[in-house]
Amino acid sequence: MTASAEPDAEVLLRVEGTLGRVTLNRPRAINALNHAMVREMDAALTAWEKDDAVRAVLIDGAGERGLCAGGDIRSIHASAREAGREAAAFWRDEYLLNARIARFAKPYVALMDGVVMGGGVGVSAHGDVRVVTERSTVGMPEATIGFVPDVGGTYLLSRAPGETGTHLALTAAPVGPGDAVYTGLADHYVPSERLPDLTDALTKAASAADVSDAVGRFAETAPAGDLAGARHWIDACYSADTAEEIVDRLRSHGDQDAARAADVIEGKSPTSVKVILAALRRARELPTLEAVLEQEYRVSCATLSSPDLVEGIRAQVIDKDRNPKWTPDRLSAVSDTHVARFFQPAPDGPLGLVDEGSRA
């Protein structure tokens, strides 16, 4: 595959040496993903997987702000206000792309420099080699907009050390490079000034071992994060069975950071908080990323009929008043029956990533 014909294309695709390169190219939107970009990436990976001249793939983002800020939230908002078909179709192809990345037959290297949120995690953190820099800010911010972590986010967070993933999901808190490595969202720390040299070395890689050697030459010890030192209150509080008890434990623990986390959670969509907790606990019991993606697709489609998704995007992205009116507006008003509705089969059926007889 040759370089994209137009320099202003939303995804730049080219082969340099033995390296297939994907550059997300919407820098003004921090390279937010739309449906066309997802389809272009999928087509490129399909071609490169069969091309013996391509030995590895690298994804990065145009501009100085980040790899990818997530999905195109404005488009999702517009779709959710209507029948939701466009959003569901986008998620279907996006999650299938996430699964393709995870099982890609050649080394898939993600340069997670700068902002990497939501859908940006989906196109990077399922790869073989995940590189963060001193500028990296990685997170799943969905609870803030009345949504639920997707793109395999609940798979990754459910497998983070202790209850750190639960903390990140319910607070929507981003992490820096040290904590990204600690929680399993990334593998290697490379200073941003060394990324051009790393990329150049990867263009000469002839094997997976060469990719590993190249990364090893430029990687350094990641700066210390905060989560490991907070495990004493994170694990004690977030291991509770219900969202209400989690908040109560955070408030009564005595640690100031725990109390602040309780305040943050109580500002999120109560429905999202309860569905997120249920999704994470279920994801822990599911055996594969594919099974979790099937669950996430069901949950995501269900949010399209929830008032909180439209309201959350309105408050954070459209009107930017940062004052969402959640329905219901408190955790105690969100019943287990209401939460269970989010896990019902999607209207257009499953993604097809697991056998129909398997429970996802």
Catalytic residue selected from 61, 84, 114, 119:
119
Q: How far is CA 321 from CA 71, 72, 195, 304, in A?
A: 21, 19, 38, 22
Q: What is the mean pLDDT of residues 85-110?
A: 98
Q: What is the pLDDT of residues 235-248, one digit of tens each?
A: 999 999 999 999 99
Sign of the dihedral defined by the CA atoms of residues 249, 329, 90, 358, in that order: positive
pLDDT at 269 over 60: yes
Peptide bond into 347 cis (omega under 30): no
Q: What is the mean pLDDT of residues 329-348?
A: 97
Half-sphere exposure of 38 (CA within 13 A, CB side): 25
pLDDT at 360 over 60: no
Res 24: pLDDT: 98
**String of DSSP letters for 9-72:** -SEEEEEETTEEEEEE--GGGTT-B-HHHHHHHHHHHHHHHH-TT--EEEEEESSSSEEE--B-
How many residues in total does the chain contain? 360
pLDDT at 310 over 90: yes
Res 231: pLDDT: 98
- 192 CB-contact burial (10 Å; exposed 0-12 / middle 13-18 / buried 19+): middle
Find the helix packing angle between 256-267 and 164-171, rounded to 10°. 50
**String of DSSP letters for 261-327:** HHHHHHHS-HHHHHHHHHHHHHHHH--SHHHHHHHHHHHHHHHTTSHHHHHHHIIIIIS-------S
Catalytic residue selected from 94, 142, 187, 311:
142
Res 2: pLDDT: 41
Provide the residue type at 95 as one letter: Y
Q: Tell me whether residue 16 is one of the annotated catalytic residues.
A: no
Res 96: pLDDT: 98
Q: What is the mean pLDDT of residues 187-194?
A: 98
176: its two tokens: 């820096």
77: its two tokens: 């908002």
Res 356: pLDDT: 59
**Contacts by 210-216, CB closer than 8 A, 24 or more apart:** 210/55, 211/55, 211/56, 211/107, 211/109, 211/128, 211/129, 212/129, 215/109, 215/129, 215/131, 215/188, 215/190
Residues 6+ apart with CB under 8 A from 147: 272, 300, 303, 309, 312
**String of DSSP letters for 112-178:** E-BEEETHHHHTTTTSSEEEE-TT-EEE--GGGGT----TTHHHHHHTSSTTHHHHHHHHT--B-HH
Q: What is the pLDDT of residues 106-163, one digit of tens each?
A: 999 999 999 999 999 999 999 999 999 999 999 999 999 999 999 999 999 999 999 9
Q: Tell me whether residue 71 is one of the annotated catalytic residues.
A: yes
Where residue 357 falls among pLDDT bands split at 50, 70, 90?
Answer: low
Res 137: pLDDT: 98
Q: Tell me whether residue 146 is one of the annotated catalytic residues.
A: no
Q: What is the DSSP letter of 220?
A: B
Helix (H) / strand (E) containing 226: none
- C-alpha R_g of the chain: 20
Catalytic residue selected from 70, 71, 114, 178:
71
Catalytic residue selected from 40, 60, 150, 163:
150
Q: Tell me whether residue 184 is one of the annotated catalytic residues.
A: no
Helices (H), 203-269: 208-218, 231-238, 243-252, 256-267
Q: What is the pLDDT of residues 36-73, one digit of tens each?
A: 999 999 999 999 999 999 999 999 999 999 999 999 99
Q: What is the mean pLDDT of residues 68-86?
A: 93
CB environment 293-319: b (16+ within 10 A), e (fewer): bbbbbbbbbbbbebbbbbbbbbbbeee
Res 257: pLDDT: 98
What's the pTM?
A: 0.96
C-alpha to C-alpha distance for 321 and 84, rounded to whole angstroms: 24
262: its two tokens: 């309780």
